[in-house]
Chains A and B, each alone.
Chain A
């Protein structure tokens, strides 16, 4: 079983729809990242969370540490949001976290149709 699980794997939405991508993890973490990967491969960090909720424009990220779960929401989705969204966690030291590397989920491929 992967330490970081994302769902859904693929998601197709119509422009304007509200989108939710989920991430569950099974290890102790110091932080959780939501990343965006475009078709060319480059990765952009969207959020880094250790508790609560963050908002940036149409993007909202939440995390529940007790339930080991995080969600990424996109409001009023747009075709330019089409990308792969990746959840990644940074392990606590007693879970084998060493120098700050991340463990990644497999990503959610989002396609927003006009």
Chain B
């Protein structure tokens, strides 16, 4: 069964609105979760590392005020795209390493965001 649950799987929103994406670990405690973004025909790129109980670490070029990450518990991280613009349309996916082990990797189902 699924280890990581991510939803919604698809969302269409209007420019200027905010969208929240949830990533939930079903079987493991995850002190760290990763948020990736994939543009068409491009590689998955790390946006930010979500740390339980502390601030997220953002990659260069990713606006922390635009992509709000909250990791309030060991099983849930959320990514909120604020004031969405059409250029934010992309595929967003979360990943985690169970119990802090840096070997296995499990992925959510991904969220296809379309901003119109």
Contacts and interface: CB of A to CB of B under 8 A. Distances in A.
A2 B43 contact: yes
Contacts of A107: 43
Question: Main secondary structure on chain B at its contact with chain A?
Answer: strand
Nearest to A35: B107
A105 B42 CA distance: 9
Contacts of A12: none
Interface string B98-116: 0000111111111010000
Contacts, number: 68
B104 A48 contact: yes
6 contacts: A41-B38, A88-B44, A90-B102, A98-B49, A99-B102, A103-B46
Interface in B1-34: 9, 32, 34
B89 interface: no
B89 to A, nearest CB: 13
Interface residues of B, number: 28
Nearest to A86: B44
B102 A100 contact: yes
Given A33-B105, A86-B44, A102-B105, A43 B32 contact: no
Contacts of A101: 34, 46, 49, 95
A30 interface: yes
Contacts of B42: 106
A44 interface: yes
B91 A41 contact: yes
B75 interface: no
B79 interface: no
